[in-house]
A and B are shown apart, each in its own frame.
Chain A
């Protein structure tokens, strides 16, 4: 089946630093989504990307859909302690139905105040 390679697996940063994480795939995706999950909660949608090359921002978060449609990155600027959580990428494939999503394993972000 399809797989998403998400990196890094974990990050430990100081408050105020910028963060970058990415996902790559061997398959083309129609849509890339980025989610954040906090302990004891379900994933919350942060950003959705629909077109190759698209760059979208949501506050301090910026995500881009790769030109080849096989990768995406998420940047967080000026991190704060509440950014702590697991960030997941997810792709919806071009040949799929039911909007089935394939998820990466996640990036665990820890922010030291």
Chain B
């Protein structure tokens, strides 16, 4: 238990669906992150939020839409995804350089 909880753990969605990933951290951290992990590739940073404000968007397509209503919660809204978007999506939080990750959501786009 790292203090970062992601739901759902697994998600299968069609290319026309709309779904959301949820992340909650119980560590009192100010920063939250979304990472994408694909096979054979390093973790790719997608978005960074600091005190609920988005401070980084790493050229992520608009079909991924993040939302951070408060410092403890982070969402990733998904719509009209492509099969190549299938991956493990990881949420992390930090107070400084040490990031703590959730267990991830395994997303499959069919």
Residues on A facing B (Cβ under 8 Å): 4, 30-31, 33, 35, 40-45, 48, 50, 88, 90, 92, 97-106
8 contacts across the A-B interface (CB closer than 8 A) = A41-B103, A42-B6, A42-B90, A50-B97, A100-B56, A103-B42, A105-B40, A106-B42
New contact pairs (13) apart from A33-B99, A90-B43, A97-B55, CB-CB < 8 Å: A33-B98, A40-B103, A42-B101, A45-B98, A45-B100, A50-B97, A88-B43, A90-B99, A92-B97, A98-B48, A98-B55, A100-B56, A104-B42
A4 to B43 alpha-carbon distance, docked (Å): 11
Residues on B facing A (Cβ under 8 Å): 2, 4, 6, 31, 40-43, 45, 48, 50, 55-56, 90, 92, 94, 96-104, 106
A50 to B55 alpha-carbon distance, docked (Å): 24
Main secondary structure of the interface of B (DSSP, over half): strand
